Amino acid sequence: MKDFIIPWDDSDKGTPAKTGAPVTLTVDGAAVTVPEGTSVMRAAYEAGITVPKLCATDNVEAFGSCRLCVVEIEGRRGTPASCTTPVTEGMVVHTQSSKVRRIRKGVMELYISDHPLDCLTCSANGDCELQDMAGAVGLRDVRYEYGQNHFDPTGDGALSLADAKRRADDTDLPGNFRYMEKDESNPYFTYDPSKCIVCSRCVRACEEVQGTFALTIEGRGFDSRVSAGTPMDDFLSSDCVSCGACVQACPTATLQEKSVAELGTPTRAVVTTCAYCGVGCSFKAEMNGDQLVRMTPYKNGKANRGHSCVKGRFAYGYMEHPDRILSPMIRESIDEPWREVSWDEALGFAAKRLKSLQKNYGRRSLGVITSSRCTNEETFLVQKLARGVFMNNNTDTCARVCHSPTGYGLGQTFGTSAGTQDFDSVEHTDVVIVIGANPTDGHPVFASRLKKRLRQGAKLIVIDPRRTDLVKSPHIEAAHHLPLRPGTNVAVVTALAHTIVTEGLADEDYIRERCDWDEYLAYSEFVSDPRHSPEAVEELTGVPAEELRAAARTFAGEKNGAIYYGLGVTEHSQGSTTVMGIANLAMLTGNVGRKGVGVNPLRGQNNVQGSCDMGSFPHELPGYRHVKNPEVREIFEKAWGVTIDPEPGLRIPNMLDAAVDGTFKGLYCQGEDILQSDPDTKHVAAGLAAMECVIVHDLFLNETANYAHVFLPGSSFLEKDGTFTNAERRINMVRKVMAPKAGYADWEVTQLLAQAMGADWNYSHPREIMAEIAATTPSFAGVTYEKINELGSIQWPCNDAAPEGTPMMHIDGFVRGKGRLMITEYVATDEKTGPRFPLLLTTGRILSQYNVGAQTRRTANSTWHDQDLLEIHPHDAEVRGVKEGDFVKLASRSGETTLRATLTDRVSPGVVYTTFHHPDTQANVITTDFSDWATNCPEYKVTAVQVSPSNGPTDWQEEYAEQAAQSRRILPAAE
């Protein structure tokens, strides 16, 4: 398997890049020109000269502690550290004078004198900067005799840990109070203090890159050591979030991945894209043969800039989990056990059933569900299967149950269904609104970049029912937290706009130039009505009026204001209205069309944006073009050689309703678990049970597979080629790292099913599918694999007008022409609290788990979160007799479940909160079928509930568990 050749310089240049006026200097006789502010070390690198270093790395600011990078500069006294010395015009630098070489060798001797000499058996052998630098400075001997040190547990002169083990049986050994045992508490990496050189790179990475401030240097002088929290803490119990930044920064084996210690130093690497959240981080999959050793964040990844989170960095073990299904399976009915069969038999069985249903019930009796976890190319083929083989528009996707209001709301106001900025834009913002999103848990790499900007002085406004970590955490604090009552987003956003308009804070010059002035006048009249004032809506929203007014003034009063939002905006009955209200705020304040501003949806899954782009909705063909338009249908009819139905198809809720009614009979579901992720679990189960052919295409027997007749094993993101499109419209390459463990990539399985149904599909590689996408979809017209490889990534639209993509939208004008300010009338949800159900439940995610947990639950991430918990305010808990850790029953009008309670003031009285990662809880048995008025996006975030003490699982949970166990029986291969 040929590795992807990295065309960009991926080496460590020692210190971060700078911008400024050009400065020319001479390094070892070579002239080099660099921006003002650049360090001498980096300038030397640009001249092709490597200066030895240990404490310096280009993802954190220079520190100047190791003294290995000293140089001589003509006209200056001493030997300054090249990492902390900025260049000046005409500077003459010598990096290899005899004086410098002597100093470096002496420094290395000191380091080695307090370091175990286990190099040949060390897990960092061959990947150790200390080892490399010893060679670079020419160290051949250490003059210092054995003395006080941190590596010999015996205190008896052992020079290595192996030597110490041989002496360990001697009970008269003096011992060494400075020696500390290796900390193996974290499931993914170890901390070995005996190998620490106290370079502080890990501490600085935790502070500057991640922004958690979990690590520090304790002690002074020779007693200095890295510490994770208090002396009572280890890495697992500390504030460490296991992002891996410290491990990546460590120049020795002090912080080391356990996988490297077990599998050896990787020998090759393939650059690919993470398959978790919508940030779309680039990673190097580092391999030994076809064995994945580790995932390391790729420093040239434009979404993540060399950073990562615990999921992308470490939680890839699900690919090897014993639960993974690698053989196709079929069964006649859902009460039978599964039977393993060949691919040919499984596909033939599925095709025969589907064709029979088409014949008996009509072409609209079948449908598909595309996946936001699969590639653009795979999603394109699944919707093509519906339209070109099933001959209907019954296609839907999980994107509808999360961000479909984004598509509708931004389409109405701006003219395009996506965010306006790239993630780099946050580095230029002055004030940020984060509404209905919890980036530190859901989009942690973006959150780290946001927190860095906040530490530099930007202001933050958080609009969320919970007190998320962004409200206050180390070295950041929101200027305003508006803890609104769930379901009142529209009222709060409109009240912000009321304040901006009535207090004369609107940017009328921008509005006159960029927006429809007549519509603004109508909107201004609407929003200025006293009924939209903060005082008028205070009782409704629970947000103090003066705090809301202050937040509006803060946002309107800064030069660059950006808005980031998540599912706490879209998953409401007025999700689309709130999105339009957010767009209104941006236009009112002139905050669209330049760096540091914009409206930015934080997409929940890795390819939510792409699944929308590819035409997964029942009313839209790829590129957000309505299926009713004959000129759009003609494009695809010519390309596919079929007639496309002009009638929009069924959304998932409509499919389930039709199944219960007996008119919808067959479903192909790729990479989605609608039984766990969609609302009103009982209704989903009833719909699936009524179907005669359910095909589940996934890695595991998920909850939906309980009702399946055919199971087609899927491929992980490391087993295929393709592209993902992240939240900033960035199209990133997904590259095959290893062969598909089940034999086929997902796009091949869909093609095989289409062929079994009689379709003449003959793609040989996903690049051919992308070529078809480009030929039929204007926003992708200029996209090719060759161009993505050349540029690293592309942000659509990419066409003749923007041949290298569009990092920022609406610069000179909105896509629709003039921006449209929309009337945003608040309409209360039909889901009401009352005596039976007096509390409001809202849901969300936690850092260590992802979506329905199918992947992360099968990794060591469950160390941090092995069950869903119900957050409840101490007051609400007290009046119900609930204590910390108690089992409680959570009941709504739809159903009931049990889970353990945790008492916290993160939520306000009257509000409870839980996650939905674990099927044992099945939180969506509680949620209702209320949905967004424009898109049918479910109202996950507002459910009236009651909480009461319980002594264990509900009857429904026990029945569900029994049914799931029966459904997952697999006959032995011999049978």
DSSP state of 386: I
DSSP string for 804-818: T--SSS-SSSBTTBS
For residue 146, the model assigns a pLDDT of 81
* Mean pLDDT within 938-955: 93
* CB distance 216 to 167 below 8 Å: no
Given CA atoms 117, 121, 122, 128 in this order, what sign does their dihedral have?
positive
Q: Which CATH architecture has domain 161-320?
A: 2-Layer Sandwich (3.30)
Tell me, letter by letter, the H, E, C secondary structure of 152-169.
CCCCCCCCCHHHHHHHCC
* Mean pLDDT within 135-146: 89
DSSP state of 486: T
Confidence of residue 176 (pLDDT cuts 50, 70, 90): confident
DSSP state of 803: T
For residue 171, the model assigns a pLDDT of 61
CA pair distance 332, 845, nearest whole angstrom: 37
pLDDT of 149 above 90? no
Alpha helices in 443-516 (DSSP H): 444-455, 489-502, 508-514
Q: Which candidate, 273, 323, 319, places its Cα nearest to that of 300?
A: 273
Q: What whole-number percentage of the chain has pLDDT above 90?
A: 88
**Within 10 Å of residue 82's Cβ, how many Cβ atoms?**
31
What does the buried/exposed string (b/e) look like for 758-792 if buried means 16 or more CB atoms within 10 Å of the residue's CB? ebebebeebbebbbbbbebbbbbbbbebebbeeeb
- Joined tokens for residue 728: 């900033």
One-letter identity of residue 449: R
Task: Output Rg (C-alpha) for the chain, integer angstroms.
Answer: 29
For residue 167, the model assigns a pLDDT of 75
In 3-state terms the chain splits into helix, strand, coil percentages (rounded to 5) of 35, 15, 50
Element (H, E) at 875: helix 874-879
For residue 299, the model assigns a pLDDT of 93
pLDDT of 884 above 80? yes
For residue 153, the model assigns a pLDDT of 87
CA pair distance 240, 210, nearest whole angstrom: 10
| Ranges 186-200, 401-415, 748-762: which has the least confidence | 401-415
CATH fit for domain 329-401+608-777, picks 3.30.300.30, 3.40.980.10, 3.40.50.740, 3.50.50.60: 3.40.50.740
Report pLDDT digits (tens) over 428-474: 999 999 999 999 999 999 999 999 999 999 999 999 999 999 999 99
Could you tell me which residues come within 8 angstroms of residue 439 by beta carbon, excluding any fewer than 6 positions away? 446, 447, 450, 470, 564, 566, 602
Report pLDDT digits (tens) over 816-848: 999 999 999 999 999 999 999 999 999 999 999
For residue 1, the model assigns a pLDDT of 37
CA pair distance 361, 380, nearest whole angstrom: 26
Q: Which candidate, 176, 122, 168, 187, places its Cα nearest to that of 151?
A: 176
What does the buried/exposed string (b/e) look like for 237-269 if buried means 16 or more CB atoms within 10 Å of the residue's CB? ebebbbbbbbbbbbbbbbbbbbbbeebebbeeb
- Joined tokens for residue 727: 């939240």
Q: Which CATH architecture has domain 404-601?
A: 3-Layer(aba) Sandwich (3.40)
CA pair distance 851, 329, nearest whole angstrom: 25
* CB distance 731 to 794 below 8 Å: yes
Domains of the chain: which residue ranges?
A: 22-136, 161-320, 329-401+608-777, 404-601, 839-967
End-to-end CA distance of the chain: 37
* Mean pLDDT within 278-302: 95
* Mean pLDDT within 541-557: 98
Could you tell me which residues come within 8 angstroms of residue 74 by beta carbon, excluding any fewer than 6 positions away? 91, 92, 93, 94
What does the buried/exposed string (b/e) look like for 337-357 if buried means 16 or more CB atoms within 10 Å of the residue's CB? ebbbbebeebbebbbebbeeb
Question: Whole-model pTM?
Answer: 0.95
CATH fit for domain 22-136, picks 1.20.120.850, 1.20.120.160, 3.40.50.1010, 3.10.20.740: 3.10.20.740
Confidence of residue 7 (pLDDT cuts 50, 70, 90): low
Counting beta carbons within 10 angstroms of the beta carbon of residue 315, is it exposed (0 to 12), middle (13 to 18) or buried (19 or more)?
buried
CA pair distance 430, 310, nearest whole angstrom: 29
**Within 10 Å of residue 169's Cβ, how many Cβ atoms?**
7
* Mean pLDDT within 616-621: 95
Report pLDDT digits (tens) over 152-164: 888 878 877 777 7
Report pLDDT digits (tens) over 225-282: 999 988 889 999 999 999 999 999 999 999 999 999 999 999 999 999 999 999 999 9
Confidence of residue 975 (pLDDT cuts 50, 70, 90): very low
pLDDT of 6 above 80? no
839-967: CATH class? mainly beta
Counting beta carbons within 10 angstroms of the beta carbon of residue 84, is it exposed (0 to 12), middle (13 to 18) or buried (19 or more)?
middle
Report pLDDT digits (tens) over 360-407: 999 999 999 999 999 999 999 999 999 999 999 999 998 888 888 998
Could you tell me which residues come within 8 angstroms of residue 560 by beta carbon, excluding any fewer than 6 positions away? 428, 429, 430, 431, 591, 594, 595, 596, 597
CA pair distance 583, 818, nearest whole angstrom: 13
What is the three-class DSSP state of 329?
strand
Report pLDDT digits (tens) over 31-55: 999 999 999 999 999 999 999 999 9
Report pLDDT digits (tens) over 494-517: 999 999 999 999 999 999 999 999
* CB distance 532 to 494 below 8 Å: yes
- Return phi, psi of residue 465, to 5°: -65, -25
* CB distance 369 to 397 below 8 Å: yes
Q: Strand locations in 619-768, DSSP E?
A: 620-621, 625-626, 666-670, 693-698, 710-713, 722-725, 730-734
Q: Could you tell me which residues are beta bridge partners of residue 898?
A: 889
Is the preceding peptide bond at 322 cis, omega within 30 degrees of 0?
no
pLDDT of 689 above 70? yes
Tell me, letter by letter, the H, E, C secondary structure of 209-271.
HHCCCCEEEECCHHHCEEEECCCCCCCCCCCCCCCCHHHHHCCCCCEEEHHHHHHCCCCEEEE
